[in-house]
Structures are given as C-alpha cells and as structure tokens.
Amino acid sequence: MPINGLQLIQMIKGGNNPQQLVMSVLQQRAQENPMYANLLKLAQGNDQQGLEQIARNLAKERGMDFDKEFANFKQIFK
C-alpha cells in the first residue's frame, strides 16, 4: 500500500526514522516508476544537488515556489 505525504509526516512525527521511511517509499516505488528509481539512486549516492534539482523541477512544473514550500515543510518539524 503506497504511503501519501501526510501519512509520511505523521509517521515521522510519531518517532519513526525519516530517512528510513523515505528510502522505503522510494524502494517500493522504484520498482514501478523510472523517476523513483532515479531518485533512489541519487539518494543512495547522497547526491543532494541532484535531489534538490529534481524537487525544484517538480515544483516548477506544478507552479509552486520551491523555496517557499520547503520553508513551510521545515516548519512542520519545529
């Protein structure tokens, strides 16, 4: 069963390891989708610039401001 973003945030707030959760989701989805396979490869290689570029591109495609959305995301964990 896929995990949505809200479920992921709730799991992280519940004390689960965020890195392990994200990697688990990527591994699951990488089997079905080449983009997730690429994300998994970048994450495993600790390519932070590559991951950020993909996130920025996705935000741009959706008409979102990456910097604003990322700042909002970080506020969740304060």
Q: Which of 72, 74, 34 is nearest to 54 (CA)?
A: 34
pLDDT in tens, 9-54: 777 677 667 777 777 877 888 888 888 888 888 988 999 999 999 9
Check whether 66 has a pLDDT greater than 60.
Answer: yes
28 exposed, middle or buried (CB, 10 Å; 0-12, 13-18, 19+)?
Answer: middle
Q: Which pTM value belongs to this model?
A: 0.62
Query: Residue 1 pLDDT more than 50?
Result: no
Distances (CA, A) of 75 to 14, 31, 78: 16, 32, 5
Contact 51, 22 (CB under 8 A): no
Q: pLDDT confidence of 3, banded at 50, 70, 90?
A: low
In the three-class reduction of DSSP (H, G, I as helix; E, B as strand; rest coil), residue 46 is classed as coil
